[in-house]
Amino acid sequence: MIKGYCDTKFQKVYDAFSDAIESGFETGAALAIEHKGKMIINLWGGYQDAKKTKAWEEDTLVNVFSVTKGVTATCISRLIDQGKLDPNKRVGHYWPEYSCNGKEDTKVSDLLCHRAAMFGFKGGIPQGSFQDWDQFVEQLQSQTPYSKPGISQGYHALTFGWLVGELIRRVDGRSVGQYFREEIAAPLKIDFHIGLAEENFSRCAEMLMIERDNIKLPGEFIKYVPNFFLPEKLKNFKTALLSGDFLEAFQEREGDNANYVNSLDWRIAEIPSANGHGTAKSLARLYGILSNGCAREGVSIMSEDTLQHAITPHSNGPDSVLFGAPIKFGLGYELAQGIATLGNISPTLNNKMFGHAGVGGAVAFGDPEKGLGYGFICNQQHIPRELYRTSNQLTKELYSVIVNA
């Protein structure tokens, strides 16, 4: 059963969301969309758990994985706006211990747009608690990069959180979770958390994850095709596949399984790249504010000029971790041009979508040209080729109305 509200002009969006739930493709999910400061869609349905005993509610939280990176990027842009952080300065200016073993010339912007060549833990992910921030930071600051920083793009799936989070801590003194809560979430009533308090566990949905052994890397046959038979994009794909960077960036710890993301340790820890928990409404509100002047009710997140700089492409791929994909990044934000994880819309729209997608299927973005804030969350992970099927269908129907309005 679908609950909530949907403006009648967006009936096709409602139908697409309802079909995803009623067909069983999504176990539980929520969708919220703001348009020019007004919440036009706020829907939820399905179940929070695998046994389907607990209905999804409006305030249900779920782990949105890398959607968290967009929230962390917002914190970074606020610090830039305040003059506390310069993306063109070396990381070592703010974090002296980082400036060693080939990382001396790494710029802040390299960390933000995945060009720091630090996309994995060379000694394996530390085995202690994810709540032990220092052990992750100390391992990263002492290791050598995988290649020369600033030269190529490789998605920092997990390490982004500790690298950028430590930068925030060095500049501001607060953790990312505390900074976001005090500077943005509380003043603007945004129900999103980096580091989940136990008092919120009762409304947190269970993530239903695919075991890694059941996920096959795409197109492995291409490794055996000579380069002269391949167009440029497939050459990039082959190079990335042979590099093994994907396996480095998406390492698993010995003893952990896919269900670890539902553990107390994972939920409580602050991992600013991967374990934010929030509602669809909160994400739509955050990106709705950013897409409509960056301020609401007397509270400003940053200037519009700062946001514009942050959502300008700073790195254009090909991405060595994500199989040579032409993903574009701003200063921490994923940009819509080049890949469809932010939405299935026509490339002729020349859109300005910015935000981030997560490996669980969640997607959140803003679009200043259209005044949109979008948040889709779910708790059923799908195989790679269907990971964003629901969200892409929703955005296709959304833009078909917005563009023709």
pLDDT number for residue 41? 98
* Residue 213: pLDDT band with limits 50, 70, 90: low
Pick the more confident residue, 41 or 216. Answer: 41
As given in the structure block, the two tokens for residue 263 are 């553990």
CB–CB of 27/47 below 8 Å?
yes
CA atoms within 13 Å, Cβ hemisphere of 322: 20
Pick the more confident residue, 131 or 233. Answer: 131
pLDDT number for residue 7? 96
pLDDT number for residue 242? 54
Checking if the pLDDT of 366 tops 80, the result is: yes
pLDDT number for residue 253? 82
pLDDT number for residue 146? 96
C-alpha gyration radius of the chain: 20
pLDDT number for residue 63? 98
Checking if the pLDDT of 339 tops 60, the result is: no
What is the tens place of the pLDDT at every residue in 218-260? 555 444 444 444 455 545 554 555 557 878 888 888 777 878 9
Identify the H or E element spanning 278.
strand 276-278
pLDDT number for residue 351? 73
The region of weakest confidence among 22-36, 51-65, 374-388 is 374-388
CB–CB of 324/317 below 8 Å?
yes
Looking at residue 229, what DSSP letter applies?
G
CB–CB of 278/378 below 8 Å?
no
Checking if the pLDDT of 131 tops 90, the result is: yes
* Residue 318: pLDDT band with limits 50, 70, 90: confident
The answer to whether domain 2-212+244-404 has CATH 3.40.50.300 is: no
Residue at 221: amino acid letter:
F
C-alpha 57/C-alpha 55 separation (Å) is 6
- Give the residue-averaged pLDDT of 271-284: 98
